Amino acid sequence: MTAYTLITGIDIYTPHNLIPAGVVAVRDGKIAFVGTKTGARRVVSGPGLTTLDFKGHIAVPGFIDIHVHGGGGADFMDGTPDAAANVLETHLKKGTTSAVPTVMTASEDDIVRAISAVLELRKAGKPLPEVLGLHLEGPFISRDKYGAQPEKYIRPFDVGTLSAFIKAAKGTVRHVTLAPEIPKAGALVRYLKRKAIIAAAGHSNATFGQAIKGLKAGISHGTHLFNAMSGLFHRDPGLAGALLMDDAVSVELIADGIHVHPAVLRLVTRVKPLEKIVLVTDATRRTGLSQVPPRTAEGKLYGSAITLDIALRNMVDWTGLPLTDILPMVTSNPACLMGAGNKKGALRKGADADIVILDRRLRVKAVFLKGKRI
């Protein structure tokens, strides 16, 4: 059994509560204690104690990105373990300690190749964010709202194709983005529910009525709210309106100020329960090299070029809400959505010691992955 590592001199955001001048004790990759220095003395003892003082800094749970495509010049669709590792390393440096790699619409062979490359990461032998599962963004989406997805690979839903992807992923598919207005959408949603996979609405031109029908069938999540979906219009609230109005449904937001206007981001925090908002990057291979989001030849946005620390800072600045309100959107909210709330997304005893140290401007200064400093 290893000795304790004590992280001191920090204000701790758990994320919902603040512990001023707190202490986090780590042992065997887990959090052994969170609290005051006085309390730590009663719990932490033994030879070989290591103390790391981050006086004047903030400790928060590791960030969790449930919608990410690329970074560092690589993309999961490159279909190699090296490319997948490059993506995850890029985001780890900025505090993302867990991720859900996103596989986009493509040929069946390319989708399976990308899935296999992520599964091969288990043999990488290097510190990487924990993969909490896979996100299939398509191919059962709308030809009217495909965004930057390759239109030629969009296909009608059939059980055989989807089951082949799920089989290739060896049970790791966590959510699937689909358009609720496509033929057999109800059957697709019900199939996903039987498999305990989240049905997410996105890349859709659904009317409000079609969207409500999809929600009643079991859609429980919205992929990058407002982007590549029918918008909120006073004569037809569209998919965006349906997602906003259902308090039981979670939604993703890309908080780069380009995909969604800061005023609209602020509006969503007033309409949706805060625990149902998840900040995502939808990051592309450009992430880590530039903060300018790429565009297709037609001028369509092609994902973002941000990391979650940037999204966090932006949301705090633009909404005026306290850090205890915004921080769960990159920690406990995605952890619970992915079924990992028992070990991720919070600084509490027994959780994985995924810890990010921030300065007072919320810039990343240190990252601990299961207790080891990266």
* Amino acid 48: pLDDT: 75
Q: Is the pLDDT of residue 2 over 80?
A: no
The owner of tokens 């997304």 is 345
Which candidate in 11, 256, 282, 309 is catalytic?
282
* Confidence tier at 302 by pLDDT (50, 70, 90): confident
- Looking at residues 336-358, what average pLDDT do you find? 98
Least confident of 118-132, 155-169, 193-207, 325-339: 118-132
Q: Indicate the pLDDT class of residue 1, thresholds 50, 70 and 90.
A: low
Cα separation values, 120 from 81, 83, 114, 348, Å: 6, 11, 10, 31
Written as six digits, the tokens of 267 are: 């509006």
pLDDT of residue 244: 98
pLDDT in tens, 127-159: 999 999 999 999 999 999 999 899 999 999 999
- Residue 42 in this model has a pLDDT that exceeds 90: no
What global pTM score does this model have? 0.97
Q: pLDDT tens digits, residue range 56-83?
A: 999 999 999 999 999 999 999 999 999 9
To the query of whether residue 11 is one of the catalytic residues in this protein, the response is no
Spatial distance between the Cα atoms of 103 and 334, rounded to a whole number of angstroms: 18
The dihedral over CA atoms of 281, 102, 72, 112, expressed in degrees to the nearest 10, equals -170
d(CA 46, CA 50): 10
The answer, yes or no, to whether residue 35 has pLDDT greater than 80, is yes
The mean pLDDT of 36-43, rounded to a whole number, is: 82
pLDDT on residue 41: 77
- Domains of the chain, start order: 5-61+345-373 (2.30.40.10), 63-337 (3.20.20.140)
